[in-house]
Amino acid sequence: MSTATAARPTTDRYPSRHLPTARITQRLDPVVHGDPDRGPLEASQLHFYQDNGYLSLDELFSLTEIEDYMAELQRLRSDRHVTARKEAIVEPDSRELRSLFAVHTHNEVLRQLCQHPKLVRIAQQLLGSDVYIHQSRINYKSGFRGKEFYWHSDFETWHVEDGVPAMRMVSCSISLTPNTPYNGPLMLIPGSHQRFVSCVGETPDNHYQHSLKRQEVGVPDDASLTELVNDFGLASPTGLAGSVTFFECNVMHGSNSNITPLPRSNVFVVYNSVHNTPVAPFCGLPPRPDFIAERRHFEPLSPPYAS
């Protein structure tokens, strides 16, 4: 039965930040949802994603296709009004632009990238339904002073703080600068998406005002991380500008600081199934602002699923 007609879930299937000790439990949701044959990915690509929780596509966009997006990213970086926006997050030390959220809502050029049919069709195939954008952001990770993103499962936050019920979301990281082994590329634990790591530590009020700069609550404990790395190892997809990595909402990931002169600026788009819209946050606090988590506009992106 489609979850669109099922009663809205309110039981917390992935409790976290409640217990005094961390726990690792099995994932309760499919990784690839729906009919895997309905979309552009080949069976081998779907199997890799199912097993590893991510899939990298080199040169999904040609340099010609993305030059406008790259130019817009640079324009935004040099626009001194941008850091004054509520959607802008600056680095705690250098005050350099760290992230710019909700670019799909306030920037026409980047809206086109976030809603690009090449990306939407893949997200629909992985989520087995029509999709909408839960969140978008540029993570600039500038040269010399771009700071790390500590280990975390995005879903743990989107479940606890945004109230997204199920693991039926996928992030898409679009490289607008080369992602090399040296300038703080995405680092993930392949296969970790199959386990849910509940975190220790109650969610503070207005947590996003700190967590988006340096996340310290809703991050896994050392023992759980050690267990995951011992069982699954580490992977760090790199690629030229135009390469794209889809990663499952629950895969454990992070990225190191960038002390090279080479920025690692990626656009991240988070697609959610239209059958998995947020309920009340499971932490019991008020929802996070719309520019971080969509709570009203769930209209499906085009083209329609499996059209």
Residues that bind Fe ion (CB under 5 A): 154
Residues 6+ apart with CB under 8 A from 21: 200
Binding at 258: pick from ligand 6CS, Fe ion, none (beta carbon under 5-8 Å per type): none
Q: Is the peptide bond before 303 cis (omega within 30 degrees of 0)?
A: yes
Binding at 215: pick from Fe ion, ligand 6CS, none (beta carbon under 5-8 Å per type): ligand 6CS
Q: Could you tell me which residues are beta bridge partners of residue 133?
A: 271
Asked if residue 250 binds ligand 6CS (CB under 6 A), the reply is no
The residue (of 154 and 161) whose beta carbon lies closer to Fe ion is: 154
Minimum distance, C-beta of residue 49 to ligand 6CS, in the bound complex (Å): 19
Asked if residue 152 binds ligand 6CS (CB under 6 A), the reply is yes
Q: Which element (helix H / strand E) includes 111?
A: helix 108-114
Binding at 116: pick from Fe ion, ligand 6CS, none (beta carbon under 5-8 Å per type): none
Q: Could you tell me which residues are beta bridge partners of residue 197?
A: 24
Residues 6+ apart with CB under 8 A from 169: 127, 134, 154, 155, 158, 249, 270, 271, 272, 273, 276
Q: Which element (helix H / strand E) includes 137?
A: strand 131-139
The residue (of 274 and 293) whose beta carbon lies closer to ligand 6CS is: 293
Which residue type, as a one-letter code, is found at position 12?
A: D
Closest CA to 176 of 265, 62, 262, 104: 265
Contact between 196 and 26 (Cβ < 8 Å)? yes
Burial of 300 (0-12, 13-18, 19+ CB in 10 A): middle
Contact between 152 and 198 (Cβ < 8 Å)? no
Place of tokens 């019920």: 165
Fill in the per-residue mask, 107 to 136: x = in contact with ligand 6CS (CB under 6 A), - = not in contact.
----------------------------x-
Minimum distance, C-beta of residue 137 to ligand 6CS, in the bound complex (Å): 6
The residue (of 150 and 182) whose beta carbon lies closer to ligand 6CS is: 150
Residue-by-residue DSSP string for 173-210: EEESS-B-SSS--EEE-TTGGGEEEE--SPPPTTTHHH
Minimum distance, C-beta of residue 190 to ligand 6CS, in the bound complex (Å): 18
Angle, alpha carbons 137-142-145 (nearest 5°): 125
Number of amino acids touching ligand 6CS (CB under 6 A): 10
Asked if residue 245 binds ligand 6CS (CB under 6 A), the reply is no
Give the CB-nearest residue to Fe ion. Answer: 154
Binder among 17, 33, 121, 137 for ligand 6CS (CB under 6 A): 137
Report residue 61 CA to chain centroid gap: 19
Q: Which one of the spans 43-51, 108-116, 149-157, 272-280 is the region binding ligand 6CS (CB under 6 A)?
A: 149-157
Minimum distance, C-beta of residue 274 to ligand 6CS, in the bound complex (Å): 19
The residue (of 17 and 137) whose beta carbon lies closer to ligand 6CS is: 137
Fill in the per-residue mask, 284 to 303: x = in contact with ligand 6CS (CB under 6 A), - = not in contact.
--------x-----------
The residue (of 131 and 292) whose beta carbon lies closer to ligand 6CS is: 292
Fill in the per-residue mask, 186 to 225: x = in contact with ligand 6CS (CB under 6 A), - = not in contact.
-------------------------xx--x----------
Using CB under 6 A, list all residues that contact ligand 6CS. 135, 137, 149, 152, 154, 157, 211-212, 215, 292
